[in-house]
Structure formats: structure tokens, C-alpha cells
Structure 1
């Protein structure tokens, strides 16, 4: 018996004694038979970014085998608005490695994520999970390298105001119980997400804490471990589902919305990424940021305004992207700089690996390697992001940067040190879009980069642009300035995004 697998939180991994990436159809059948599980649920991501479900009551082994072998038909026009009803039948086909035991179901059930296929049995070119797969395959084919991603998922819990041990306004970062009221909910979420297959780095309370009338708002964050792009997207979607299910169970409101109220910290969905070659992280070279990393950053900054079309998809997204709220407003990058759009987080380099010996004097320690930890972080997206398309866009941008002749010069030009909100660099910096409408225009201007090699189909880009422009929110921030009630109405309209 493999001890590491026996300690894995996913019940299927423990039972089958194999990694989820190695799951087969027979493995799932074996688990369901051994545990007398008669319910199987297909899950898949539609245009709105939420997990949909299709439920099966298994009547026998032959029935289960057929479902897991061929998938099932669904109505694509009800899932994607750009599909015509006259020819909209799609197949949903299970991806075995995503199978997990539903932690909420009263009657045991297996959940499994699916991919979309068209009437010819070809991967649906406009499906979010296929766009992401195409983006990464294209990147690997053109560069000989691969990428890994992790997300930082921020959210607010809204409950009745409590007078005992109140949290301090906008000072909730890493707060603990009893001042952090929903630490227990967060820890339960961490456990359940891991049981569903998520690979979690940590969870903590975030800055945003405030009260409004009889209501208390408390912000939290869950950060994941870096994985391949497709699984990185899967685990963030499952995390949102788990958190919402817990909120329903505890009778509290949870929101991933980018802005809850003006003047308080908004919620981001930051994406960290790294590039690997032959299984080794190459973001560093001799303990310094490598040229590969700088080229990736340059590519992201070159199309950053267009990336908001996938990562900042509702009008309140642009109420978050304002100065002095730990959210970016300008296109630049920097080391350990939370005012920059792309941040290079603190790494374990330059001799700091000796810290563990100083903290534990006279104790023998065999420290683990930290060489693989360096990432770069894209800080613009928020909870309204289409996760698959945002990651696909970032991969496309990274490949774009690696192919640009002047990417190192651009990276050097756009580097900033210090807080740009306190002192703008000489010559100024290009701004991010200030509305969905502007974001749509930016995507239109740079659509050729995303449409290259049919990674993003033309109709997906066109649909995204039209949807953003339809909000007609140009100059919205100026129009809403000082109108607190109108702002509140807008926030509530988009409180449950994606």
C-alpha cells in the first residue's frame, strides 16, 4: 500500500491506490460497485461559467459502462447562446481523472466533469475547456515548454452583525477566530475541496472586513497549488461550487463579486503561472528572474487590456480596478509590488533557505527544495472571470511574448519599483480599461492574437465583444460618483457572478 496515496483526502484515490490522473473507466465502475453507489452525475461548464449537472440512476453494470463509455446528449443552444437551436445537439463525455465522491449528497453519488463534442464527434471548438486545451497544446508545440497555473480565490461571507469580538474595518488580513467569524467555514471548505480532488496551498482571512447596518461582511481567500492549466481551472470551479453549497447549508450569503461596496477591498481572482521545460521550473536563472519569465511578462502586458474581456466581465469589475484598493489600474510589472498589474512574488532565493536553521537552532533539519516555487502573478481578474478563457488567454499571451522580438526591451521599459499610486513613473503608464465597453474594444483591437491557430474561435471573440459592449457602461464610474444607492443596486445585480 502506498502511504502517500492512503493519506490522500480523495476517497477514490485511497480506495483505488492510484493518482486521479490515472483513473480509468474500470476504476470508477469498481469503486461504485464496491461501495454500492447507484447515482452518477455529469458536470460541465456552460457559457455562464457555472457547473451544470445531468443525473443518472445506474440500473446495472452494463448501463454504467455505457454511460462512462459514450457520454450523453445535451441541448447546446440552452448552454451556449451563440449556438442555433436548429442544430444544437452536443455530446458531453466524461473525463475520468476528475471523478470524485459528492461530499454533500445524502445518497452517495459520483460526480465527474465532462467535455463537449459536436455531432461529428469532434471536440467542440468553442467549448471553454477545449479552448484552454488548444491554447496549452499550441504553446507546447511552438515552444517545447509547458505551463502551470494556480488561482487565488477571494470571496466575502455576509451574515447578521455580531457584537462580540467584532472584526476591525479593512484589517482582516490573516485574522483568526474569534475575530474571524467564518474561519471554521473556510477550513471545512478546504477539507471538502481536497476531497473533491483540489490541490490546496492554504486558506486565510483577507483584508476586507466591514459592517453595514445589521450586516457584517468578512473576506477570505483560498489559494491552490500549481497544476496543469486544465486541472487548475477545474479545481477553482469545484471550489466555487463547494463554497456555495456550504453557504447554503449554513444559511449565509457568499459572493465572489469584484466589488461589494465602494471604499472597501474588492475580491480578485489572481492567477499565478510558471513555465517548465523537461519538468523543471525555468522562471529563475541563477536565482534571478529568467529571460523566459520576462518575455512571458512582456507578452501578458502587451495584451493585458484585452485580457480583461475574459477576466473582468461585469460592470462592477471596474469599480474594483481603482487606486489604493490593492487592485491594478496601470499596465506594468514589479517585484513584490501589489500596485503592479503583474507581480513577481517573493521567492526562496539568495540565501534565504537558511532561515529554517535560524528558526530551529540546534535541531537537525533536512529542508525541502524551493527551486520550483517561483511564479509570476496576474492581478487584474476577479470572480466574474470565465476561468477557462482567462487561463487560455494568459497562455496565448505568454506564447506571444516568447515570440516577440523586442519582449525583453518592453519588459525593461514597463518595470516599476515602489507604489505607482504614490508616484507615477516618469512618462506615465498605459491604463487598463475602465468599463466593459472599453474592454470589448480592446479585445476587438487585438483579437488576431487570440484567434491565431483557431485557439479562440472567431464567433467566441465576437460574442464576447458584443456581450461586453451591451452593458453600455462607458463612463459608468463617473456617472455613479456619489450616488450610493445607485451603486448599491448595481452591486446587488451582479452579486452572484459566474
Structure 2
């Protein structure tokens, strides 16, 4: 038994923890959990906890259903929203096969493989997610058929005594109580829309943090008689919710993206990393934007990037190079702006990191930075200037993903096939559904 595991057992005893929740996700990032009794934790560390993998979306067939959850002791945290009457903790788990090997179906393992690939190249990847979401009065629609936001405030608005402000304060406090440092939080553009930005962390820890944040946000919303949603585009007339993520690669304690005197202080490694993501962006979009509704956000206009491009401080570009502190080595980074808040962070970070590493390994050349407001151009101008569009629908995205050679390499054949199968079923359900738009537009005139 290692030191982390011994510390967990000691903490459970010292705090009289009654339940330990083991967390993992299915192929689309839905959080799953099982509550373990304290007396069973040591055995779970040593042998794992058996469960029926055939009942989890994207895992195994019925005849290969036996799987194991192996708790990651380094992720142990008490859950403050459960209170002290019956103290509860959580640990993220790795999913194993009965012979103790990592399961090819585990999204966390998919990301870990890319982390190990980066390590073989000498890199450690850090990410900094900016998570947007809407705070609503409930999960039910109002009399106008629209979701009901808790306020009508806008970007950076300060509303004394408002629900959003009190909510954010409590959410940040709770996130920090489970060991997730927050950089800042604020009201976003849309009514009831908020953003919480997490501090830099290694990419696997960052994905764990995103999963924990979603749970915290929903729990705190309930405490405020509200409902939080990470749906990419719940309002037709307001901006959707993205999860812009900043990436950097470090070689030891040196930021591999920083080169003094280079254009935008970007090293060759950084330029190749950007080029890798841009080259493969259309085929990875089904993963970063995995729902039918994701494309309502992606093609809504404004600052949402729907074309393959990059630029310095260009918020219409798919990838942006922020230069808030241009001469500070550790702050050199690139920002991917296409991903939405409903993504499976393990798979999305795996395909983005994997595409970036592909660019470094194969020495991709980066096109010149864009200075255009790409969203303001006409389709003809974008075509002449060579701006390739991202997929326009989930159907288009799945077609490009299915034709990709790189995506099955990164995801593994099992997750690649399971993901496509799940999303194709979603598209089929959407395709045959008769929407209120169609009834309102056609029923009375045709």
C-alpha cells in the first residue's frame, strides 16, 4: 500500500467518513458513482471493486461485462455539501479488466495514454479551463416556452444581493474546499450565465476538476433553489456556453511554448502544436462538440469560432494566443475556443493534446496568423481567403470523425466505435423528431 492510500485510510478514520463515492464516467462524460463502505476501501485499493460494465454506455458487451473500479487515492476529497452528519468523500477511479489491465473503454485511460505520449516526448501538459454555464430558476420551461434565467444581468455586471453573485461566492468556496483552486469568477453575457475559471493544473487533474466542478455547480444551485445547466445553447437569442481551454507544454520547469523575440513570443514547438490542432480540428469537433445542440452554439455568430484559424488576441479565431503578460515565460500558452461546456473533458483533452503532439512529431507548418474578424466576412470572402469551416451539424462532424485516421489512434478503436455509435443514434433521434419550429412554420400554411 502506498503513502496516498495510507493517508486516505487515516483520513477516513479521523473524520468518521461514512460513505466513499467512487467516480468514473461513461463514453460521453456522464458521471457515474457507487458508494463504498469505509471497511471496503482497503480491499478496493488492492483488488478493485467489481461492477457490470455492460450497463455503462460505451463499455462492454453483456458477455464481457465484468470490470473493476480501482480508486485513485490521490483524488480523495471530502464532499463539503454532504455536511458533517454523515461525512462523505469521493475518489476518481481507473477502470480495469478482470486481469488488472487498463480498460480500453475508460475515457480517463484514453487521456492518460496521451499524457504518457507527451511524457515520452519530454513534455508535461497543463490546461486552464474557463467554464460557462446558465443558472436557471428550474429545469422547467416558462410560459413562453423558454428557460427562465435567475437574472437579466450581462457581462461582468455586479448585482448586489443577486442570486448569481451569492451563488458564485458559495460555489468558489466549495470548489476550494475540495482542493480545486479558482482563478476568478464572473457573470457572463447571457441572462443567468456565469463563468468560473480554474487555475492551471496538469491535464488529467484538470479533466478531473471539470467533472468535479459540474457536480459542485449543480449542488450549489440546488442550495439556492435554482438549476444549473451546461447545455451548450439553451437560448436562441443569447450566447451559448463554451469551455475555452488554455494549453501549455513544459519541459521540466521550462515553458516549451515561450521563445523571446519570436513572433508573439511563440516557440517552434508552440507553432507546431497549434498547427496540429488546426489541421485536425474538423475531424475532432464531434468530440469537443458532441451534442446536436452544440452546433447551435458553434454557428450562432459573434465571438464563437466556426472556422479553422488562429491569431493573436483575435477572439473570432478558433485558436488564440493571449499576450496578457508577453515577457513572462510561464504565461506563454495557446487557447482553444471551440470546445463547449457539455463535453467529456477526458476525451476532448485527449484529442486536442493528441492532435497538438502530432503536429510536433511531424513538424507541421503553421499558416500566418489571422487578423480578420472572420465572422464578419461573407462566405465568398472566407472561401477565397482559405478559411475552412468546422462541421455545421453533428451529422457532418460524425462523418469527418469516421473518416479520420488520427481519431481512432488517439481514442482507441473501442472508444472511437462506441462514441460514433452513441452519437449516430442521437442524430437519428433528432432527424426524425418534429420540432415546434416546424409545426409553427408549416402546419397552418401548408
Q: TM-score, normalised by structure 2?
A: 0.88
SS of residue in 1 equivalent to 2:91: strand
Q: Of the candidates 407, 421, 443, which is equivalent to residue 450 of structure 1?
A: 407
What's the CA shift for 1:264? 0.9
Shift of 1:126: 2.1
Cα pair 1:25 1:69 within 8 Å, conserved: no
Deviation at 1:466, TM superposition (A): 3.0
1:242 aligns with 216
2:160 corresponding residue in structure 1: 178
Secondary structure at 2:247's aligned position in 1?
A: strand
Partner of residue 5, structure 2: 25
| Unaligned stretches of 5+ residues in structure 1 | 1-21, 210-217, 351-369, 487-498
- The 5 A counterparts of 1:392-411 are 392-405=350-363, 407-408=364-365, 411=366
- Partner of 1:383, secondary structure, is coil
Contact 1:439–1:468 (CA under 8 A) maintained in structure 2: no
Q: In the aligned structure 2, how far is the partner of 1:320 from the partner of 1:64?
A: 43
Measure how far apart 1:109 and its partner are.
1.7
Change (3 A) 1:74 1:371: same
User: Are residues 40 and 181 of structure 1, via their aligned partners in 2, closer, same or farther at CA, if it must alter by over 3 Å?
Assistant: closer
* Whole-angstrom distance in 1 between the partners of 2:388 and 2:161: 40
Structure 1 distance, partners of 2:418, 2:294, is: 19
Does the 8 Å CA contact 1:330/1:431 hold for their aligned counterparts?
yes
Q: 1:173 to 1:484 in 2, by over 3 A?
A: farther
Q: Secondary structure at the match of 1:331?
A: coil
Q: Secondary structure at the match of 2:188?
A: strand
- Identify the range of structure 1 (421-430 vs 465-474) with the bigger mean alpha-carbon deviation: 465-474
1:148-163, aligned counterparts within 5 Å? 148-159=126-137
Q: Partner residue of 2:395?
A: 437
TM-score, normalisation: structure 1: 0.79
Aligned ranges for residues 194-273 of structure 1 at < 5 Å? 194-209=176-191, 218-273=192-247
1:225 Cα offset (Å) = 1.5
The 8 Å contact of residues 59 and 105 in structure 2, kept in 1 or not, is answered as no
User: Within the alignment, does 1:412 sit opposite 2:390 as a pair?
Assistant: no
User: For residues 428 and 190 of structure 1, what CA distance do their matches in structure 2 show?
Assistant: 43
Cα deviation, residue 191, structure 1 = 1.2
Unaligned runs of 5+ in 2: 143-149, 442-446
Is the contact made by 1:101 and 1:111 (CA closer than 8 Å) also made in structure 2? yes
Query: Is 1:378 aligned to residue 336 of structure 2?
Result: yes
Q: Aligned equivalents of 1:342 and 1:348: distance in 2? A: 18
Distance 1:484 1:104, change over 3 A: farther
Within-5 A mapping of 1:29-178: 29-59=9-39, 63-106=40-83, 107-141=86-120, 143-159=121-137, 167-168=152-153, 172-178=154-160
Q: CA separation of 1:78/1:300 partners in 2, compared to 1, >3 Å: closer, same or farther?
A: same
The answer to whether 1:343 aligns with 2:291 is: no
Number of corresponding residues: 419
- The structure 1 residue matched to 2:416, chosen from 461, 465, 472, is 461
Following TM superposition, the consecutive aligned residue runs of length 4 or more in structure 1 with deviations greater than 6 angstroms are 473-476, 479-482
